[in-house]
Chains A and B, each alone.
Chain A
């Protein structure tokens, strides 16, 4: 039955595009359908384990490439349908034609995301994600804000190259494991096939990493989100970007006991890079002067925590249940929160005609409802307890220390892995003048620093040290988010805020709809953790 989640939005898009059906209404019907279907699928597969879930992966007597066997798939499906519905409900296009294009793009984007999340084989998993890049490209280039074309090209080149690198990695992995399905890879691992390390996981991390805006490859993300029309920003930042993390976690999950052998050699480098996400991009976020730029950067920054969970999961060799659950919770929570924030930003812009933080102020006295929602989303984003992000972040940070005991540190083993990459790189790069030695210095430096820090902290492991640094990110988020709230909503009523007239019912509904789930999963995180 999962096929209907793919087909219905495509039919709706075709109706809008080819037969000139009304854009928003048709899309809304389709989104409502996928919402009901997706929530139903989630509830049935999660809370009624005795029900046969095969009905989801077949149509008639034909077997589909889709399945909901992995808990992560169900959670991401839930996220996709919720955000899609909210994005389409809150969509405000400048005119009728634009509305049609926006609706088609949103539908295709969400189809791509849903298809990728429910695929149980590498080919359609990859293909559906690629599909979603087209509407993103067209929409940013045509309806974006600011320097839209450059931004769209940058994003396309980054994502296009990353996808190809990813494809190479995935195919090499599949060829090694002799299977193109996730379950096939798991079976291969169980039958004793050990995938070779270094190159393939490196390609996968670089490919997936770029798609998720991992630190040195993140330059495309913030400008693209800032520039994209609201529904596209919501869907891309909220849903589609999780594709990379979903892929990494799913692969690590199916590899189980060999995931450390596979991804392990990159783990320490990954720890450094994710600190780049949390700290470097965090400080960059603080320095932004526009609300949309700030949110774009903050979304890049928060990916660091989820990568941290991934590093923990790999370091524990797939034994750390808490890490993967926390990551799933955080992906869901971050998707909902950032979607809500982008939605509210769109509404703020339509009210004030500006997003420059300096020219705003006092909007809460005009539109208290909007102010409340923004405060809720902002506080969720910085991890206030009883909101969904808190459950995710807290679990991730706890998982970093689960199983760790004072004194029994593993810092040196981590650093051994680092030196093995160095050896490999040196071997691979022999003959390339300068690059080999430079990598050598960098890696020696990282190793020495980690050893030194490990000494100071009484033998913490690399993961734990990284966690201590990453915790500082919570403070950084609080700084920029609260400051943005103060500048936009409090203080004297700015010139821009005087233009504010009021929100429509659809605006309010879509925001309340997202906020409802943020609160729901914050108060009752077991709904997610159970799966």
Chain B
């Protein structure tokens, strides 16, 4: 299979949304240079509008690209609200200089994820992923006056480079064993039925290395080490982006690489069964590390970091039923639930950082008294993360259990994963409720006045809460047919 065929798989027009996003990013960078008077916050709005528009055009192709675009738009709006802290941490208090590259970088990263969803071969996959990763390195360390941010940038760079290295190594093995970069069912079929066992071993090594790279992005064990530190240190909008959009990229890669195996489950039950077993180990480790690790966290961003690992565990559980027809739909639905709640949670954290100067969970204290309406919206978001019924998070987590129970019908040996899921979900109730406890049980401290909730934050929190409740209630009341 030569490279002409690969290039024939893609058309220029297919990538129009990505080019548009990158063009907008370049325009913002240029405008930033040549029109210094223009308020930098305006670029955030401009970029958000661009990302939101892109969401309509990528919609038809892939739900994941749409999730990425919507997340980027929301994150850009969050960056708009977070402007004050951005100025303090980049150029010094009140100095706007150098804050607008962040918006351009977010757009570029978003373009990377969108093109990733269209990848059909490893080169495209790798290049798109690197577009996301490289811009994320810069974004994580963007607050150069903030030691935590710089530390996050360095940690992300070192660990991210490791994961990139593993992926390149995996890609080399992939090419070496298959003679092609294509990700196709026919190729996998040929390899698995090949009588030369060394070739198969090499192929599985390649898959393993590539999967490790995907696990890094998705935040799954054993590649989850970076998450708590980087989320805690990064600027809050960037943490939100990494938590949702970057995770989406990881799962897109997982789907791309594992779908061919799912289609071949009937042909090679043993080999696919072995892959499922391996994934179930990863899922169990991810569930336990994420959910149990979150229990003792006091920093809200770190808490959400561990929570994102735990949630990734629940998504990985879908992959135990790898031959299922609607695998990518289930994953996308879970990611939408996760996005709505997580973005809202980060909005709350950013607001508290701006106004109370703290990112600890204790900064939520007394919100139920001082800002009852905002507290309610935040409650909906955290309830959805915990999987409380009548929120979309419940439906998502419930699907995870349902799909897993179906998977057990095929492979009864997976049952030991069930206690891990139970433990993870129960621990989730504990640590997400810590925030609710701060809001409702604790009294506001002296000097805590009511928060001035910015209009954008109110709007986004409200929209997220309505979406969470609507999507979570409808299926419980009405029959689907």
Contact = CB atoms under 8 A, between A and B. Distances in A.
B389, B409, B418: most-surrounded residue (chain A CB, <10 A): B389
A130 B436 contact: no
Interface string B189-217: 00000000000000000000000000000
Interface stretch (B134-142, B153-161, B424-432): B424-432
Interface string B365-406: 000010011001000000100001110001000100110011
Interface stretch (B32-40, B113-121, B472-480): B472-480
Secondary structure at the B interface, as helix, strand, loop or mixed, is: helix
Contacts of A3: 477
Contact of A141 (B369, B440, B477, B479): B440
Nearest to A140: B441
B408 A175 contact: yes
A127 B441 contact: no
B436 A65 contact: no
B405 A172 contact: yes
Interface residues of B, number: 34
A127 B472 CA distance: 10
Interface stretch (A157-165, A274-282, A303-311, A522-530): A157-165
A134 B421 CA distance: 21
B478 A62 contact: yes
Contact of B477 (A64, A137, A142): A64
Given A64-B478, A156-B433, A164 B426 contact: yes
A175 B479 contact: no
Contacts of A131: 388-390
Interface string B27-71: 000000000000000000000000000000000000000000000
B388 A141 contact: no
Given A127-B476, A164-B426, A171 B433 contact: no
Given A142-B441, A157-B430, A63 B478 contact: yes
A161 B422 contact: yes
A168 B421 CA distance: 9
A138 B436 contact: yes
B478 A156 contact: no
Given A3-B477, A128-B476, A171 B402 contact: yes
A157 to B, nearest CB: 7
B373 A130 contact: no
Contacts of A142: 440-441
A40 B270 CA distance: 59
A6 interface: yes
B351 to A, nearest CB: 19
Interface string B441-481: 10000000000000000000000000000000001111100
A160 B429 contact: yes
B19 to A, nearest CB: 44
Contact of A157 (B383, B406, B426): B426
A496 interface: no
A45 B178 CA distance: 68
B418 A138 contact: no
B369, B373, B441: most-surrounded residue (chain A CB, <10 A): B441
B437 interface: yes
Interface in A116-168: 123-124, 126-131, 134, 137-138, 141-142, 149, 156-157, 160-161, 163-165, 167-168
A17 B376 contact: yes
A64 B423 CA distance: 32
A432 interface: no
A229 to B, nearest CB: 14
A142 B439 CA distance: 10
A168 B402 CA distance: 9
Given A131-B389, A161-B426, A63 B479 contact: yes
Given A64-B478, A171-B402, A171-B405, 11 more contacts: A65-B477, A115-B476, A123-B476, A124-B476, A127-B389, A129-B389, A130-B388, A141-B440, A141-B441, A161-B422, A167-B425
5 contacts: A62-B479, A63-B479, A65-B478, A128-B389, A167-B401
Interface of A: 3, 6, 17-18, 62-66, 97, 115, 123-124, 126-131, 134, 137-138, 141-142, 149, 156-157, 160-161, 163-165, 167-168, 171-172, 174-175
